[in-house]
Amino acid sequence: MQTNDEMTIPRLLTKRQLQEALQIGVTTVWEWMNEGMPYYRRGHVLRFDWKAVVSWLETRTMKEQG
């Protein structure tokens, strides 16, 4: 079952939408991309798959805790 937040967040997000959804800055987005956060690039256009990013963050958090 989806929460209200999941229903209102589009599947593919722009960098700005990702920043707003996670309440993070642009520097954090670039750092996470360099650390392996999944994203798509077509030319100069970046898109982030919301479910893939959430999964990546959960895995990353589990590694830090374990």
Distance, CA of 61 to CA of 58 (rounded, Å)? 5
Instruction: Give pLDDT tens digits for 5-27.
Output: 555 788 999 999 999 999 999 99
Read off the CATH number of the domain in which 49 is found. 1.10.10.10
| Domain contains 4 | no
Closest CA to 51 of 62, 64, 39, 41: 39
Task: Report how many domains make up the chain.
Answer: 1
CA distance 47 to 16: 10
Q: What confidence category does residue 1 fall into, taking pLDDT thresholds of 50, 70 and 90? A: very low
Residue 49: give the domain boundaries. Answer: 10-65
Percent with pLDDT over 90 in the chain: 74
